[in-house]
């Protein structure tokens, strides 16, 4: 039977984790350089000319690149037109290495994947490899049964790694996702969808890519994936079970945080202001600076009737600190993050029009809302610039100060 701590940590896990393969799950740097040299030697023998053998650093630096860049990068300039032949000669060798029975995964890989699967997390792979290599990893390295879905460069409709991430978000119907990888292409794919990125470092160096977290082992990856649950454990003692509100500006991450908090609290009822949109308006309409935002954006009568009949729920949405709603809530968790970051998240999630609407309408309305400019000792404020590392704000300040 799970302890309450284990349950809370599991509740904070993302709903989807997308892993790169080489250098992230598999220790490719051990076997790839000598195999690359074998492939180049086979091509040299076939061509009847001498070709320089790639050094370890050269071979490893190419991992994660697009296929033509990877294979051509193993050859001197004069022979790069033969990259397809090099690939054809080397792929069967790769298959043999992956299926010969040697475990090439990093220590703790299967334990990490098993832990995530046991706690309801969907696992996807996104790699710039081809289909043959992907199948060799899934079958030969015995991780296929621990993976829900895998994409590679040859998957239908895929042009780049960002496309693989988009496909995963669509298939698993969630944005509560984290991407784990070791290369710039992984980082760019995460940034393209405004997802948290965990940089897996190791044999190829410590890395200097922008990332929400850096992990040097599979154990550290697991700790970072559980970090939101660790924070929720802290928050539980302040929030308690009851009528809980989660508020903040658009783009700050209210929906995902509220869902995780509801799971941690064991609350079965998660509500959103989006559930109470009036027929001809709603939260998608820019609010402007004047007028009653709640009445314009929400069917307030229906909302108050619903929550007035319930003792336990988590409600998320903007403007929850309006007195008509705040009086119905036992506690409010107010999430804050820099305005530029919220705008960028909205741009990646919903497009330029949403970002413009935030900049021109939603943010000014949020900042002009009286309660958001006031200090309230009963308000629980959480800084959420880094979705993997929420931070409790302990000094007395207003939410508006986060944007100054």
Q: What's the pLDDT at 283?
A: 46
- Specify the CATH number for the domain of residue 218: 3.40.50.1000
Of 206, 225, 244, which marks where a domain is finished? Answer: 225
What residues are paired with 381 via a beta bridge? 334, 393
- For residue 312, what pLDDT is reported? 94
One domain, residues 126 and 175: yes
Which contiguous run of DSSP H or E holds residue 133? helix 131-140
Same domain, 219 and 248: no
- Does the predicted model carry a pTM greater than 0.85? yes
| Cα Rg of the chain (Å, integer) | 25
For residue 31, the model assigns a pLDDT of 93
Residue 253 sits in the same domain as residue 303: yes
Q: Answer yes or no: are the C-beta atoms of 141 and 31 closer than 8 Å.
A: no
Residues 208 and 254 in one domain: no
Domain boundary among 225, 260, 281: 225
| Residue with tokens 């697009």, as numbered in its chain | 66
Same structural domain, 370 and 235: yes
- 68 lies in the same domain as 199: no
Specify whether 23 is located in the same domain as 117: yes
Are residues 260 and 342 located together in one domain of the fold?
Answer: yes
Could you tell me the CATH number of the domain that includes residue 311?
A: 3.40.50.300
Residues 365, 237 share a domain: yes
Burial 269-282 (b: 16+ CB within 10 A, else e): ebbbbeebbeeeee
Rounded mean pLDDT, 11-25: 95
With 0-12 / 13-18 / 19 or more C-beta atoms within 10 angstroms meaning exposed / middle / buried, residue 4 is: exposed
Please choose, from the candidates 25, 71, 82, the residue with its C-alpha nearest in 3D space to the C-alpha of residue 48: 82
Count the domains in the chain: 3
pLDDT tens per residue across span 51-67: 999 999 999 888 888 87
pLDDT of residue 42: 96
Residues 263, 302 share a domain: yes
Would the pLDDT of 214 be above 70? yes
Query: What pLDDT sits at residue 63?
Result: 86
Q: Is the pLDDT of residue 2 over 90?
A: no
Residue 35 clears pLDDT 90, i.e. is over it: yes
Smallest CA-to-CA distance from 318 within 265, 388, 247, 378 is with 247
Which is more confidently placed, 63 or 136?
A: 136
Which band of pLDDT confidence, cut at 50, 70 and 90, is reported for residue 282? very low
Nearest partner of 180 among 144, 145, 207, judged by Cα:
207
Spatial CA neighbour of 318 closest among 326, 328, 310:
326
Average pLDDT, integer, range 247-253 = 94
Give percent of the chain with pLDDT exceeding 70: 94
How far apart, in Å, are the Cα atoms of 29 and each of 24, 26, 137, 202? 11, 9, 15, 10
The lowest-confidence range among 99-113, 273-287, 341-355, 371-385 is 273-287
The parent domain of residue 165 ranges over 4-27+105-225
Predicted confidence band of residue 289 (pLDDT cuts 50, 70, 90): low
Question: How large a percentage of the chain has pLDDT more than 90?
Answer: 73
The overall average pLDDT reported for the chain is 90
Residues 6+ apart with CB under 8 A from 300: 276, 294, 324
pLDDT band at 380; cut points 50, 70, 90: very high
373's CB contacts (< 8 A; 6+ apart) are 367, 398, 399, 400
**Domain boundary residue among 182, 208, 225?**
225
Residues 151 and 208 both lie in one domain = yes
pLDDT of residue 152: 96
Per-residue pLDDT at 66? 80
171 lies in the same domain as 271? no
């Amino acid at each position: 039977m799970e302890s309450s701590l284990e349950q809370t940590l599991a509740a904070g896990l993302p709903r989807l984790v997308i892993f790169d393969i080489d250098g992230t799950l598999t220790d490719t740097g051990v076997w790839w350089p000598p195999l690359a040299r074998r492939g180049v030697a086979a091509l040299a023998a076939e061509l009847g000319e001498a070709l320089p053998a790639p050094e370890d650093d050269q071979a490893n630096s190419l991992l994660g690149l697009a296929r033509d860049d990877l294979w051509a990068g193993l050859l001197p300039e004069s022979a790069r037109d033969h990259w397809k032949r090099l690939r054809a000669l080397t792929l069967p060798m790769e298959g043999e290495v992956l299926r010969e029975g040697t475990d090439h995964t990093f220590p703790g890989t299967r334990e990490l994947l098993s832990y995530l699967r046991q706690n309801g997390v969907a696992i996807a792979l996104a790699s710039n490899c081809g289909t043959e290599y992907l199948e060799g990893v899934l079958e030969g390295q015995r991780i296929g049964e621990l993976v829900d879905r895998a994409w590679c460069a040859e998957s239908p409709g895929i042009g780049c790694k960002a496309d693989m991430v988009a496909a995963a978000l669509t298939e698993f119907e969630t944005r509560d996702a984290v991407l784990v990888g070791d290369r710039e292409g992984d980082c760019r794919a995460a940034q393209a969808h405004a997802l948290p990125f965990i940089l897996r470092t190791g044999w190829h160096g410590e890395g200097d890519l922008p990332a929400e977290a850096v992990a040097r082992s599979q154990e550290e990856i697991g700790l970072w994936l559980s970090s939101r649950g660790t924070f929720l454990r802290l928050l539980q003692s302040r929030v308690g079970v009851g009528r809980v509100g989660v508020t903040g500006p658009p783009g700050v991450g209210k929906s995902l945080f509220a869902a995780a908090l509801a799971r941690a609290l064991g609350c079965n009822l998660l509500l959103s202001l989006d559930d109470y949109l009036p027929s001809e308006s709603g939260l998608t309409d820019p609010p402007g600076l004047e007028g009653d935002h709640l009445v314009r954006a929400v069917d307030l009568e229906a909302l108050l009737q619903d929550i007035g009949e319930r003792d336990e729920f988590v409600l998320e949405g903007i403007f929850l600190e309006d007195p008509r709603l705040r009086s119905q809530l036992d506690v409010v968790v107010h999430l804050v993050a820099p305005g530029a970051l919220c705008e960028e998240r909205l741009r990646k999630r919903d497009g330029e029009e949403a970002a413009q609407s935030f900049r021109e309408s939603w943010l000014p309305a949020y900042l002009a809302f009286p309660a958001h400019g006031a200090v309230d000792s009963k308000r629980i404020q959480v800084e959420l610039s880094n979705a993997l590392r929420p931070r409790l704000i302990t000094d007395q300040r207003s939410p508006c100060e986060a944007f100054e």
